[in-house]
Amino acid sequence: MEDKVVLLDFYPSMFGMRARVALAVKDIDCEHREEDLQNKSQLLLESNPVYKQIPVLIHNDKPVCGSFIIVEYIDEVWKDKSPTLLPRDPYQRAQARFLADYIDKKVTETGNWIWCAEGEEKEAGKKGFAELLKHMESELGDKPFFGGNGFGFLDVALITYSPWFQTYETCGNFSIQQDYPKLSSWVKRCLEIDNVSKSLADPDNVYNYYLTLKKKRGL
């Protein structure tokens, strides 16, 4: 029986993009359903009754929730399809998961301060975000990808924030390309992978979404 794969998604979401990238690089046919987060579908509410959030991957009518859980699920279920995203080595796999969790927590902590706060809070956000980028550039080192020579789990974890870099730079008045050249080169290498670039939101559209969100919140 042919797999039926549906992704409940929201275009600007870095978490939704994470699932899109994993599906695309594995070349898995998928039906994408865009959610209105102000008027969530009954399918989303039923598929993720705990958090009621995207992304949700529905595989043969069974929902899988949480962006990293979805990526690992995709890698495990379609393990015969290249590339293998998670490292085979248990220690390297644990390290990749740890850093992926660090990325999400750090950006959640600092990113909102950059684009919706002022004064000391904004500066604290910029400092924290800079710490993240500096640490990830150090982790990358001279490797082409975080996974080594090939695109892998940690690359999926971070590349889906790259469409938001323009918004962070504009709001925080800094330049990732200038300050973090290795990380910027890594972004370019990732975007040269056709299935990755096609799965990411356009940075201009993300910035326009930010402006709409800012207006709604009266910032």
CATH number of the structural domain 5-77: 3.40.30.10
What is the average pLDDT across 165-192?
A: 96
Q: What is the pLDDT of residues 113-137, one digit of tens each?
A: 998 888 999 999 999 999 999 999 9
Please tell me the distance from the alpha carbon of residue 15 to that of residue 78, in angstroms, as a whole number: 20
* Helix or strand holding residue 44 (H, E): helix 42-47
In the chain, where are the structural domains located? 5-77, 90-216
CB 147 within 8 A of CB 155: yes
- Fold (CATH) for 90-216: Glutathione S-transferase Yfyf (Class Pi); Chain A, domain 2 (1.20.1050)
pLDDT at residue 111, rounded to an integer? 87
Please tell me the distance from the alpha carbon of residue 28 to that of residue 181, in angstroms, as a whole number: 33
pLDDT at residue 1, rounded to an integer? 55
